[in-house]
Amino acid sequence: MQFLENKMKKITICALFLVLAVGCFASIAEKLLLVNDFKLEVKAALASASIDMSGVKFSEYPGKLAEIYGNTSGDLNVATESIVTLSQKLNALRQIKTNIFQALASGGIDVENGGIGSIAESIEELISIQITAEFICVDSETGSVLFGMVVTAAGESKETDASGSAKFSMDSGVDYLFTVASTTYVTAYGTATVDADNDVFVVTCYEKQEYTVGDTGPAGGIIAYVNHNNATQGWEYMEACDVAFVRSNCAWSSKTSTEVTGTGLAIGDGASNTALIVAQCAGDSANYTASECYNLVANGYDDWFLPSKDELGILYMNLYEAGIGTFPAASHWSSSESSATQANRRSFNTGLQSVQNKTTFYTYRPCRTFSVSSSDMKVVSLRYNGNNQTGIVSTSTPYLPVNTEVTLASGAEMIHGGDALLGWNTDQYAYGTRYATGTAFTITETTTLYAEWDVETVFVFPDTQTYTIWKEAGYVAMVDWIVASETELNPVFVSHVGDVIQSFATDPEEWEFASAQMQRITDIGVPWATLPGNHDYYSGTRDTTQLDTYFPLATFTAMDTFVDSYDTSSANQAHLVDIRGRQLLIISLEFGVRDIVLDWADSLIKTYSNTPVMIVTHAYLATSGLRLTSDDPHAPSNGYGLGSVALGQVNNGDDIWNAIVASNSNVLFVFSGHVGDADTGSKIKEDVRADGSLCHQVLTNWQYYTYPFTGYMSVLKFTSNTVTMRTYTNYQSINYPAYCENEGSYANWNW
């Protein structure tokens, strides 16, 4: 009985909503909308009560409800006599019935004082008012109307007449999917919603294009194959991507000794093969051939795959041997697996097909399939990527006509650690255009929007020595941007790789200028740390008197992030920084770091063995991208008067790696400066330790770049599980590119 009461309660609430609101409206149009709302409310209430009304007209609802409540007459009055416990609710329904009669009568609708059935029939009469929707089909090239196009909408199919028109009766306010098709035009898809101001829909139709091998495809690639089995496989053409979108050689997979299982060899298997490989490698950050194809967006198309063994053979025979397109005379990977450790490849030099170890680096050629009898060529879709989210990603739109305006999804069901969703971005790493959720977006081409999650940022200053003597504007610009980004980027720490000043610790003006700039960072409440480069010592010594005068240890111990220092100098210090619900230990180490200081750092790293670590020091990487060794003239052990490596008085980059980086898997980052020239301001070295853990080592020293390319610094954006590094300058950013795209100046990592 309680079950029945709950159901009746839902219907009562909906009916009350109708009666109370109807009296507030003056026009029949408003009442019509309200009645429609009532209809939807009733449907929702019944569905939530597990009452299935599918296939039942709204006017037949009372009879259906009467069956549920044991009422065979169709009038709820009878139920009061047989179900005593429901009498109160039934009395309320009688009053509702009377109120609905009065509301309908006030709108000019005459209803006899009968049962609930007669009321529902009157409501249905109101709701069933329909509007004639007209579809007019025109040719995309000539603009002329098209006769004989088959328009399907609202459950009917009609041919357009001599005026290019087909008409349908549609309920106001209801979304109807429609298609327009013919044997000579590409099928158009869309959504039509009719109301008093929107009842004519002009559909632009595009003539079908037939392709032959060698033609340019819709995505700008080359048609490699015409499929004569399209009726069963669902596609007509295979298109090979333009070579411009092929990046460097890759291994077959990031899982090089685990069988994927299920990959096929045949024409038509490439797309499913690629999906299987990508699914197996989900979450891996390394690039590999299948992911390069799967994630590719070329000329607005994102449905690329790594071709199967037989599809790759088609590319070789139909294109390469025919001299069509640009293909290197090199081995190409297919998506067809041979075993847990090997996959199929084909040499375009010899034409031979063979299996090779998945670890081998070969080139690849993305492909896609399409059919001109579908929406492939002339309609677009908006797709959402949650950017490593958990929870449900917002659903892509159906294929819609070009320039359709949609409302961007809220993304409310996505979770990304504790990160807030800032909006949707055209770039995966949030360096494109951001669009707010819930706002209007016009789809001009098939587009993927990426969730942009809230970040916190660590800035890394390069050597600033020349900025303190003749390029002061570059230093000021760096600090300006940190201060200005306080709200947008949430800076949580600023590191400095040393060589704060130029004149080997002897010029007070340089120290005062640098100190004043760093004080501006303190003033906005952001912690920071510096360390001595060789120019911050008195020449030929390890004397840090001036450093400790202008940047005393007390400056840093006052910061909430401060953890420890090696001694009473600020030359070697450690900070524990809270970032996106996690922590990062940042250790700053002196130029030519001594053994005893490395021991101190190693002890800290091991104490925080479960915490990611960033080491910042002055001299570590060379411009070659290799670690500094005693053979390099710029190594700390050569010519700086710091002593001997053998005696533990000084260490080079390779020594630091061996002492504290290689053996500690929680050291994720090492940043350094010291070396550079007018062409090289950055390098990145990635190393994998014996336990499989990664270490990202970065050289950042942009001081030798001349105006206007000055003021570059490394900007690390942290979410709860990713880090993106870009190199940014705020100096004259209105007139010059803000981001540097030189090798080693940008990276995307997990942490």
**What is the number of alpha carbons within 13 Å of residue 180 lying toward its C-beta?**
33
Phi/psi at 298 (nearest 5 deg)? -125, 115
Q: What pLDDT shows up at residue 126?
A: 46
pLDDT at 111 over 90: no
pLDDT digits (tens, 9 = 90+) for 684-709: 999 999 999 999 999 998 877 665 55
Domain coordinates in residue numbering, the chain: 2-127, 130-205, 222-370, 387-453, 456-750
Contacting residues for 245 by C-beta, under 8 A, at least 6 apart: 296, 298, 366
- Nearest to residue 97, comparing CAs of 11, 164, 171, 172? 11
pLDDT digits (tens, 9 = 90+) for 262-296: 999 999 999 999 999 999 998 777 789 999 999 99
Question: Distance between CA atoms of 184 and 299, rounded to whole angstroms?
Answer: 25
Q: What pLDDT shows up at residue 621?
A: 95
- Nearest to residue 337, comparing CAs of 363, 357, 322? 357
Question: Distance between CA atoms of 618 and 589, rounded to whole angstroms?
Answer: 8
pLDDT at 97 over 60: no
pLDDT digits (tens, 9 = 90+) for 69-94: 544 343 444 333 333 333 444 455 55
Judged by DSSP in three states, 144 sits in: coil
- Helices assigned H by DSSP within 346-396: none
Question: Distance between CA atoms of 82 and 103, rounded to whole angstroms?
Answer: 29
Task: Return contacts of 148-154, CB within 8 angstroms, 24+ apart.
Answer: 148/182, 149/180, 149/181, 149/182, 149/185, 149/205, 150/180, 150/181, 150/182, 151/178, 151/179, 151/180, 151/203, 152/178, 152/179, 152/180, 152/181, 153/177, 153/178, 153/179, 153/192
Q: Do domains 130-205 and 456-750 have the same CATH topology?
A: no
Residue 391, sorted as left (phi over 0), alpha (psi -120 to 50) or beta, turns out to be left
pLDDT at 39 over 60: no
Contacting residues for 120 by C-beta, under 8 A, at least 6 apart: 58, 59, 61, 62
Judged by DSSP in three states, 598 sits in: helix
Q: How many other β-carbons are positioned within 10 Å of the β-carbon of residue 49?
A: 16
Q: What pLDDT shows up at residue 51?
A: 66
β 582-589/613-617 pair status: parallel
- Nearest to residue 394, comparing CAs of 378, 405, 409, 379? 409
Which secondary-structure segment (H or E) carries 20? helix 2-22
Q: What residues are paired with 716 via a beta bridge?
A: 458, 725
Question: Which comes out higher in pLDDT, residue 125 or 353?
Answer: 353
Q: What is the average pLDDT score of the chain?
A: 81
Contact (Cβ atoms closer than 8 angstroms) between residue 517 and residue 550: no
Question: Distance between CA atoms of 545 and 24, rounded to whole angstroms?
Answer: 82
Q: Domain 456-750 adopts which CATH fold?
A: Purple Acid Phosphatase; chain A, domain 2 (3.60.21)
Confidence of residue 637 (pLDDT cuts 50, 70, 90): very high
Q: Please measure the distance between the N-terminal and C-terminal CA atoms of the chain and give it in whole angstroms.
A: 57
Confidence of residue 46 (pLDDT cuts 50, 70, 90): low
Q: What pLDDT shows up at residue 77?
A: 42
Q: What pLDDT shows up at residue 81?
A: 38
pLDDT digits (tens, 9 = 90+) for 650-684: 999 999 999 999 999 999 999 999 998 777 778 89
- Nearest to residue 312, comparing CAs of 234, 228, 252, 391? 252
Question: Distance between CA atoms of 624 and 690, rounded to whole angstroms?
Answer: 24
pLDDT digits (tens, 9 = 90+) for 145-161: 899 999 999 889 999 99
Q: What pLDDT shows up at residue 743?
A: 53
Question: Which comes out higher in pLDDT, residue 545 or 474?
Answer: 545
Tell me how many helices (H) and strands (E) the chain has: 16, 37
Lowest mean pLDDT among 78-82, 142-146, 397-401: 78-82
Q: How many other β-carbons are positioned within 10 Å of the β-carbon of residue 57?
A: 12
Q: How many other β-carbons are positioned within 10 Å of the β-carbon of residue 10?
A: 18
CATH number belonging to the domain at 130-205, selected among 3.40.50.920, 3.40.50.150, 2.60.40.10, 3.30.1360.180: 2.60.40.10
Which secondary-structure segment (H or E) carries 310? helix 309-314
Which DSSP symbol is given to 444? S
pLDDT digits (tens, 9 = 90+) for 302-330: 899 999 999 999 999 999 999 999 999 99
Q: What is the mean pLDDT of residues 614-642?
A: 94
- Nearest to residue 274, comparing CAs of 348, 364, 388? 364
Q: What pLDDT shows up at residue 499?
A: 94
Dmax over CA atoms of the chain, in Å, equals 108
Q: What pLDDT shows up at residue 75?
A: 41
Contact (Cβ atoms closer than 8 angstroms) between residue 575 and residue 559: yes
Phi/psi at 576 (nearest 5 deg)? -110, 115
Contacting residues for 86 by C-beta, under 8 A, at least 6 apart: 1, 4, 5, 8, 69, 79, 80
Q: How many other β-carbons are positioned within 10 Å of the β-carbon of residue 464?
A: 33
Task: Return contacts of 109-117, CB within 8 angstroms, 24+ apart.
Answer: 114/75, 115/62, 115/73, 115/74, 115/75, 115/76, 115/77, 116/62, 116/74, 116/75, 116/76, 117/59, 117/62, 117/63, 117/74, 117/75
DSSP state string for 548-597: HHHS-HHHHHTSTTEEEESSSSSSSEEEEEEETTEEEEEEEE-TT--HHH
pLDDT digits (tens, 9 = 90+) for 445-460: 778 899 998 889 999 9
DSSP state string for 32-78: HHHHHHHHHHHHHHHHHTT---TT--GGGHHHHHHHHTT--SS-THH
Cis peptide bond upstream of 708, omega within 30: yes
Angle, CA of 375, 381 and 387, to the nearest 5°: 140
Residue 26, sorted as left (phi over 0), alpha (psi -120 to 50) or beta, turns out to be alpha
